A and B are shown apart, each in its own frame.
Chain A
Amino acid sequence: MTWIWSNLDLIWDRTFDHLILSVPSIILSFVIALPFGWLAYRYRSSRAVILTTVGLLYAIPSLPLFIVLPFIVGTSIRSPLNLIIALTLYGVALMVRVVADGLGSVDRDVRQSATAVGFSGWSSFWRVELPLAGPVLLAGLRVVAVSTVSLATVGAVIGAQSLGSLFTDGFQRGIEAEIIVGIVATVLLALALDAALVLLGRLLMPWTRRSAIGVTARPAPVIREVAA
């Protein structure tokens, strides 16, 4: 405990470093995954190729990637940018499939009706399909957020500062409290980001919150005759 009180500043700094690594990676992986996921969803023939390729990204071991990446993109090995790129790649690997599945989960009737009343392809994507894929996207993003926060700790091994540095440092110097703080703070940060995403989802997708008042049971789904 005394270690914590005397090192609060350090803990805050490492938490901040950790956020600098994870938050941009989470946002970037979402943004980059969007067009690829859309392609996989829109063009059946591209689906297998895209999903397999990005899926393979996840199979790359993280430590070698952190080391090899600087040679490819020319960043310094300890620069946060190096880590952000690597973390983004892993995020994209998870997120592309989620985007494809999320867009595929949008009710066919709703998509057709949007076209029928005069949404263009572009506006239908942004105003109908993307928002309606929201719950699935959010679920995927939560996984990406938690996995990114935990992966970011690995950067400490190559010297990129994060909460992971607390346990590498704690190990080297034999400070048990520092190791525990590093682990607990990482978990707490992951939980905090997850909670933030849930909150954001509620704000952006108010229709998924069903108020108990005035909810009438939806009629049982009727099986539609196909293309009468």
Chain B
Amino acid sequence: MIEFHSVTKRFPDGTIAVDDFSLVVPSHKTTVFVGTSGSGKTTLLRMINRMVDPTSGSIDIDGADIGTLEPVKLRRSIGYVMQNSGLLPHRKVVDNVATVPMLRGMPRKKAREQALALLDTVGLDRSLAERYPSQLSGGQQQRVGVARGLAVNPNILLMDEPFGAVDPIVRAELQQELLRLQRELGKTVVFVTHDIDEAFLLGDQVVILRTGGKVAQVGSPAQILANPIDDFVSTFVGAERGKRSLHVENHGNGNIVVDETGRLAGVLVASQSTAATASGSESRAGPRGPGASVQGGDSR
């Protein structure tokens, strides 16, 4: 469990990135910080591994104030995945994954063996192990990034817009992969994104942030969608524009789902195939209510 206690971060130039922020991040769940540029979401994430130290307030991990912990040691115990993978370009894939365990003193041979097993976990072929990151596609690099994040078997996994730089198809694939991993591993994931659909898909708890690191609303995707607390939130989640109010129109050949603006959102399908098409989201109270699922029509 990660607890933010009245955390404020003021940068030397006077910008307030985060203002009196308090939150409990529950263990074994995914918490998503979502907001536009300047909402302080990345700053909040980086405070958890002390890449950034708060100006005031404190952060506890499992009851221990991280301000008293040694930053390098703390970072080696927390998984970190970033945009553009952040892999070391001069190390082979397998060595990138083995890096942190070796920094923690694991013998090279064992670290590499374990790294190969992790490539399996994230769905990468072992034949890629001896390549350099630049020889992989963007999606593959991102998977290696996730494998590296998991390499020390951390309780906490920090993800800073990890899928922001890949194309939409690969992004959807990676999102499903993360949901699968999370079902298997149950890490405490803190995920940062500016994409509200990604936040609703991945988050058990979603934190919508305003400019200057103020919380607009915290809740499950369903809670936020059903009761947006104010105009800012409804605009942000797209309820304002009618994007989230769907109705069915019969077009002879099938039932088409349409939003209030008249945009075709997808096709209504029988609930059996729900499990197959939206595996992973059926167990959570997602915005795509039970019994029916909307195919296609991504709102991006």
User: Chain A: residues with CB nearer than 8 A to chain B?
Assistant: 107, 109-110, 112-120, 123, 128, 131-132, 134, 205, 207, 210-211, 214-216, 218-219, 222, 224-228
- Please determine whether B131 and A118 come into contact, CB atoms closer than 8 angstroms: no
- Please determine whether A219 and B38 come into contact, CB atoms closer than 8 angstroms: no
- Please determine whether A205 and B90 come into contact, CB atoms closer than 8 angstroms: yes
With A117-B99, A226-B37, A228-B42 given, name 15 new contacts (CB 8 A). Answer: A110-B86, A115-B51, A116-B82, A117-B148, A120-B72, A128-B88, A205-B90, A207-B134, A211-B135, A214-B131, A214-B135, A218-B134, A227-B43, A228-B38, A228-B194
Q: From known contacts A118-B75, A228-B194, infer whether A110 and B88 are also in contact, taking CB-CB under 8 Å.
A: yes
What residues of A have a CB within 8 angstroms of the CB of B167 in the complex? Answer: 219
What residues of B have a CB within 8 angstroms of the CB of A117 in the complex? Answer: 75-76, 80, 99-100, 103, 148
What residues of B have a CB within 8 angstroms of the CB of A216 in the complex? Answer: 135-137
- Please determine whether A109 and B132 come into contact, CB atoms closer than 8 angstroms: no
- Please determine whether B166 and A110 come into contact, CB atoms closer than 8 angstroms: no
Q: From known contacts A210-B134, A214-B131, A224-B83, infer whether A116 and B51 are also in contact, taking CB-CB under 8 Å.
A: yes
What residues of B have a CB within 8 angstroms of the CB of A119 in the complex? Answer: 72, 103
Bound complex: CA A120 to CA B84 (Å): 22
- Please determine whether A227 and B51 come into contact, CB atoms closer than 8 angstroms: no
What residues of A have a CB within 8 angstroms of the CB of B88 in the complex? Answer: 110, 113-114, 128, 132
> Residue B289 at the A interface, CB < 8 A?
no
> Residue B41 at the A interface, CB < 8 A?
yes
Would you give 23 A-B contacts (Cβ < 8 Å), ordered by A?
A: A109-B82, A112-B86, A116-B49, A116-B86, A117-B100, A118-B72, A118-B73, A118-B104, A123-B103, A131-B90, A205-B90, A207-B132, A207-B134, A214-B135, A215-B135, A219-B166, A222-B83, A222-B164, A224-B83, A224-B84, A225-B37, A228-B38, A228-B39
What residues of A have a CB within 8 angstroms of the CB of B87 in the complex? Answer: 110, 113
What residues of B have a CB within 8 angstroms of the CB of A110 in the complex? Answer: 86-89
Bound complex: CA A213 to CA B73 (Å): 39
Bound complex: CA A74 to CA B35 (Å): 67
- Please determine whether B49 and A207 come into contact, CB atoms closer than 8 angstroms: no
> Residue B7 at the A interface, CB < 8 A?
no
Bound complex: CA A123 to CA B161 (Å): 26
> Residue B192 at the A interface, CB < 8 A?
yes
Interface residues on B, range: 35 or more
What residues of B have a CB within 8 angstroms of the CB of A118 in the complex? Answer: 72-73, 75-76, 100, 103-104
CB distance from B55 to the nearest CB of A (A): 15
- Please determine whether A116 and B75 come into contact, CB atoms closer than 8 angstroms: yes
What residues of B have a CB within 8 angstroms of the CB of A116 in the complex? Answer: 46, 49, 51, 75, 80, 82, 86, 158
Q: From known contacts A118-B75, A219-B165, infer whether A109 and B90 are also in contact, taking CB-CB under 8 Å.
A: no
Bound complex: CA A222 to CA B35 (Å): 19
Bound complex: CA A115 to CA B82 (Å): 12
> Residue B242 at the A interface, CB < 8 A?
no
Bound complex: CA A211 to CA B132 (Å): 10
Tell me the residues in window 14-48 of chain B with beta carbons closer than 8 Å to chain A beta carbons.
Answer: 17, 35-39, 41-43, 46
* Closest A residue by C-beta to B51: A116
What residues of A have a CB within 8 angstroms of the CB of B132 in the complex? Answer: 207
- Please determine whether B100 and A218 come into contact, CB atoms closer than 8 angstroms: no
Bound complex: CA A218 to CA B148 (Å): 20
What residues of A have a CB within 8 angstroms of the CB of B99 in the complex? Answer: 117
> Residue B57 at the A interface, CB < 8 A?
no
Q: From known contacts A117-B80, A207-B90, infer whether A112 and B51 are also in contact, taking CB-CB under 8 Å.
A: yes
- Please determine whether B100 and A109 come into contact, CB atoms closer than 8 angstroms: no
CB distance from B135 to the nearest CB of A (A): 5
